[in-house]
């Protein structure tokens, strides 16, 4: 219903103007965050394709230029416009996109179907998400390096300053992330609009100089280049894929700005401007093959090169923003699905639950990006690594998408199979081409992905083992309360109020069970409390808390569910002070109440549940979990942490 209302024309013209301005602001914000990566690909794509130092160089000739430019255009159309914008972005998980959203849908839909096949695809999907983390590390390094390298076109003697300048820019970029994607987008949006207008205009000047390049828009040139010069075209694909870097970031960032804003920004500005730039660079190379050294910057008149270098630097900083915010979304969804521990997540918008900042991921990415900058020191050296991360993620996303689409849309398998075969054939061709660059840097994203994949699958497996053991130890909440009610001889009641935070609704808190079994006491008033996060910014006071006496109204034990919005910090004492005194007729002494948390100490055991090295990795990963007492706003001087150990 809300969807149809948003699409209909409002009767109040004043409301229409406000709504249009809001939509425009969201589109501008999307331009400032989502399209930076793919929008800066024209800086280095053609230059990398014709790089004479490439281990498989593409000779500069008229046929090859037409073929390469045509392949770039149609690769962008097939992979970005068709696979992502028209197809994949129609599938979301409560507004969130990206490979982790597809995995969530896959698990939800396939719960009643073939579990083995679903688990296999989920595993493949997790590897795709791991490749995206590699993309998130490589993109800022190669993007900013490629832009700053433009100063060598203006003044070659400044080349030694490229790496230090790049490092300073990257540190500054990660320092501003805490302000949130909405604030960043408002600043970056106008810059990206200027960027796309500028590269489109520069492309037009190149096309005017050699209008014949427009023939490259015909797919016949791409097909003839692939079939007639396959030996050259195949290796060229490893660099041509750079034109579609950022496609997965577009999908992963969907939760930040919504599908419509992204589609309008792509079709209305980003795609036309990028196409004009590629065509203009192709025309420039046709005029003089020497321009392959830096066709993007040489396309700009001499008087405008310094401003273009500055604008390109700003644009590549924004390019980094696209994958950084995408990494936040992927990490958040991975934690929700149980593939990462609970991370501290800061919501930065009251209007969109998808706009988040994850400090731990932010600093990890900054350290990784700086390491790559100082290790590789040039965009050309990183280019071979870049393509492998991109093609692997795209292929896996396409595969999982079609599986989910078959179950969600109920589309006949024979209809989907044809489209899937064509798109996967294109993706796999790019993957095969990039595998030829393994010895030249393509190993790097595979290593990063393998590390992230191992970490996530280890955490998921270890968490399952710990949860099963914890459920066994906690036992049924209802049965435990029955025992407390009837056993009055061995369990002594002591004055005061105890509040036990519980992780679910079915089992008894470990801290409560330990207090009863070891100390043989229970407090006069006991509150067992679970917290849930609702998909709204804030929860109204009257809807905050639900109370259940568990069948024993006068026994002093109640079960409470506290609801918080995603923009709220869960403040447990404040919530209890607000509503519980009236509910329990003033019996609770909240100002002197004790709070009990159950803490699990993990140990390496003798069981064969996991390999010993994976057990140690799981335990090490558990240390990055956000502190529960701080997260829930509990008073430190009245918080008791009762530990229990579980062997894995």
User: Is 128 within 8 Å of 139 (Cβ atoms)?
Assistant: no
Tokens found for residue 266: 């792509």
Judge residue 537's burial from the number of C-beta atoms within 10 Å of its C-beta, 0-12 exposed, 13-18 middle, 19 or more buried.
middle
Least confident of 32-46, 323-337, 567-581: 567-581
User: Is 256 within 8 Å of 181 (Cβ atoms)?
Assistant: yes
- Write phi, then psi, for 243 (nearest 5 degrees): -70, -20
* Residues 6+ positions from 62 with CB-CB distance below 8 Å: 286
Predicted confidence (pLDDT) at residue 9 exceeds the cutoff of 50: no
Judge residue 289's burial from the number of C-beta atoms within 10 Å of its C-beta, 0-12 exposed, 13-18 middle, 19 or more buried.
middle
- H/E stretch holding 497 reads strand 492-501
Average of per-residue pLDDT values in the chain: 82
CA atoms within 13 A on the CB side of 337: 25
How high is the pLDDT of residue 73? 97
The CA distance from 428 to 508, in Å, is 51
The CA distance from 322 to 249, in Å, is 6
The CA distance from 427 to 408, in Å, is 23
- Percent of the chain having pLDDT more than 70? 87
CB-CB neighbours of 413 under 10 Å: 9
Give residue-wise pLDDT tens across range 167-181.
Answer: 999 998 888 887 765
Confidence bin at 2 (pLDDT 50/70/90): very low
For every residue of 499-549, DSSP letters joined together read: EEE-S-SSB--HHHHHHHHHH-EEEEEEEEEEEEEESSS---GGGSEEEE-
Compute and round to an integer the Cα radius of gyration of the chain: 28
Cα 517 versus chain centre, distance: 44
User: Is 630 within 8 Å of 585 (Cβ atoms)?
Assistant: no
How high is the pLDDT of residue 11? 39
The CA-CA-CA angle for residues 241, 298, 388, to 5°, reads: 15
User: What homologous superfamily does CATH list for 20-462?
Assistant: Amino acid/polyamine transporter I (1.20.1740.10)
- H/E stretch holding 194 reads helix 181-209
Give residue-wise pLDDT tens across range 274-289.
Answer: 999 999 999 999 998 8
Indicate the domain borders of the chain. Answer: 20-462, 474-647
Mean pLDDT across 503-510: 78
């Amino acid at each position: 219903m809300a969807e149809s209302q948003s699409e209909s024309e409002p009767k109040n013209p004043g409301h229409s103007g406000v709504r249009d301005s809001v939509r425009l602001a969201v589109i501008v914000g999307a331009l400032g965050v989502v399209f930076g990566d793919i929008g800066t690909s024209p800086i280095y794509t053609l230059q990398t394709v014709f790089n004479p130092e490439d281990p498989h160089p593409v000779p500069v000739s008229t046929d090859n230029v037409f073929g390469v430019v045509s392949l770039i255009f149609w690769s962008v159309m097939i992979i970005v416009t068709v696979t992502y914008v028209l197809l994949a972005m129609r599938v979301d998980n409560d507004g969130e996109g990206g490979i982790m959203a597809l995995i969530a849908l896959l698990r939800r839909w396939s719960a009643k179907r073939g579990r083995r096949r679903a688990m296999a695809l989920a595993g493949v999907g997790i590897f795709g998400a791991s490749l995206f983390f590699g993309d998130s590390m490589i993109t800022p390094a190669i993007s900013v390096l490629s832009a700053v390298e433009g100063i060598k076109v203006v003044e070659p003697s400044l080349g030694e300053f490229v790496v230090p300048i790049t490092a300073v820019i990257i540190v500054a970029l990660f320092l501003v992330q805490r302000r949130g994607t909405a604030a960043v987008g408002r600043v970056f949006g106008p810059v990206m609009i200027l960027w796309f207008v500028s590269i489109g205009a520069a492309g037009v000047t190149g096309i005017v100089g050699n209008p014949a390049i427009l023939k490259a828009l015909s797919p016949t040139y791409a097909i003839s280049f692939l079939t007639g010069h396959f030996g050259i075209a195949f290796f060229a694909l490893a660099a041509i894929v750079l034109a579609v870097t950022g496609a997965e970031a577009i999908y992963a960032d969907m939760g930040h700005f919504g599908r419509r804003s992204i589609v309008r920004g792509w079709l209305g500005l980003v795609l036309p401007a990028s196409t004009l730039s590629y065509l203009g660079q192709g025309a420039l190379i046709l005029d003089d093959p020497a321009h392959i050294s830096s066709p993007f910057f040489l396309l700009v008149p001499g008087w405008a090169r310094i401003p273009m270098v500055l604008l390109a630097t700003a644009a590549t900083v924004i390019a980094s923003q696209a994958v950084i915010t995408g990494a936040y979304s992927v990490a958040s969804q991975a934690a929700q699905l149980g593939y990462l521990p609970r991370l501290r997540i800061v919501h930065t918008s009251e209007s969109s639950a998808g706009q988040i900042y994850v400090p731990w991921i932010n600093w990890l990415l900054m350290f990784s990006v700086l390491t790559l900058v100082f290790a590789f020191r040039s965009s050309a050296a990183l280019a071979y690594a870049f393509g492998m991360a991109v093609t692997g993620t795209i292929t896996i996303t396409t595969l999982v998408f079609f599986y989910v689409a078959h179950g969600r849309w109920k589309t006949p398998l024979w209809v989907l199979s044809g489209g899937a075969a064509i798109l996967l054939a294109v993706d796999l061709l790019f993957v095969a081409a990039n595998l030829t660059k393994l010895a030249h840097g393509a190993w790097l994203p595979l290593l990063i992905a393998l590390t992230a994949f191992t970490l996530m699958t280890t955490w998921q497996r270890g968490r399952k083992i710990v949860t099963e053991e914890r459920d066994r130890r906690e036992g049924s909440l209802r049965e435990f309360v029955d025992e407390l009610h009837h056993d009055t001889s061995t369990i002594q009641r002591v004055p005061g109020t105890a509040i036990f935070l519980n992780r679910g609704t079915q089992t008894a808190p470990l801290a409560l069970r330990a207090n009863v079994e070891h100390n043989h006491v229970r407090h006069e008033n006991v509150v067992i409390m679970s917290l849930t996060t609702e998909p709204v910014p804030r929860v109204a006071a009257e809807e905050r808390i639900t109370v259940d006496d568990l069948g024993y109204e006068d026994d002093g034990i109640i079960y409470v569910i506290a609801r918080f919005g995603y923009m709220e910090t869960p403040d447990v004492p404040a919530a209890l002070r607000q509503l519980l005194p009236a509910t329990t007729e003033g019996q609770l002494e909240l100002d002197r109440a004790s709070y009990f948390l159950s803490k699990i100490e993990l140990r390496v055991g003798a069981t064969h549940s996991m390999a010993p090295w994976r057990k140690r990795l799981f335990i090490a990963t558990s240390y990055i979990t956000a502190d529960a007492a701080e997260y829930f706003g509990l008073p430190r001087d009245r918080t008791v942490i009762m530990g229990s150990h579980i062997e894995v």
